[in-house]
Amino acid sequence: MDYYRKAKLMYASKGRPMINEFFPYAGERLAAGLVGQGSECFGYDDGISADHDFVPGFCIWLSDEDYERYGGTLQAAYDAMTEEIYPDLTMMKKSAGAGKRRGVFSVSGFYESIIGCPGVPSDEMIYMAIPQYALAEATNGWVFEDQSGEFSAIRLELLKGYPEDVRKAKLSSSLLMMAQSGQYNFQRCVNHGEDAAAVVALSTFVRESIKAAFLLEHSYAPYYKWAFRRLRELSGMNTLEASLEFILLGSNEGRGLIQKIRAVERVAAYFVSRLKDEGLSSSASDYLEPHAYEVREKIKDSSIRNTSIFSE
Domain check: are 140 and 175 in the same one?
Answer: no
Domain check: are 248 and 182 in the same one?
Answer: yes
Domain check: are 236 and 289 in the same one?
Answer: yes
Domain check: are 56 and 119 in the same one?
Answer: yes
Domain check: are 42 and 130 in the same one?
Answer: yes
Instruction: Please check whether residue 100 lies inside any domain of the structure.
Output: yes
Q: What is the pLDDT of residues 53-64, one digit of tens each?
A: 566 799 999 999
**Domain termination residue (choose one: 126, 158, 190):** 158
Task: Report yes or no: 41 and 34 within 8 Å, Cβ to Cβ.
Answer: yes
Q: Report in angstroms the alpha-carbon separations of 254 from 69, 190, 267, 289.
A: 68, 11, 21, 28
**Domain termination residue (choose one: 110, 135, 158):** 158
Consecutive H or E run containing 142? strand 142-146
Instruction: Please check whether residue 311 lies inside any domain of the structure.
Output: no
Domain check: are 188 and 140 in the same one?
Answer: no
Domain check: are 226 and 152 in the same one?
Answer: no
What's phi and psi for 177, nearest 5 deg? -65, -35
> pTM for the full model?
0.91
Residue 248 has pLDDT above 50, yes or no: yes
**Residue-averaged pLDDT of the chain:** 91
Domain check: are 7 and 119 in the same one?
Answer: yes
Residue 192 has pLDDT above 80, yes or no: yes
Instruction: Please check whether residue 52 lies inside any domain of the structure.
Output: yes
Provide the residue range defining the domain that includes 107.
2-158
Q: What is the spatial distance between Cα 92 and Cα 82, in angstroms, rounded to a whole number?
A: 13
Q: What is the spatial distance between Cα 178 and Cα 209, in angstroms, rounded to a whole number?
A: 7
Residue 267 has pLDDT above 60, yes or no: yes
Domain check: are 117 and 192 in the same one?
Answer: no
What's phi and psi for 26, nearest 5 deg? -90, -20
Strand order in the sheet with 103-106: 103-106, 59-62, 31-34, 142-146
The four Cα atoms 137, 139, 142, 144 give a dihedral, to 10 degrees, of 120
Domain check: are 23 and 152 in the same one?
Answer: yes
Q: What is the pLDDT of residues 122-153, one digit of tens each?
A: 999 999 999 999 999 999 999 999 999 999 99
Residue 304 has pLDDT above 50, yes or no: yes
**Domain termination residue (choose one: 158, 191, 219):** 158
Domain check: are 93 and 214 in the same one?
Answer: no
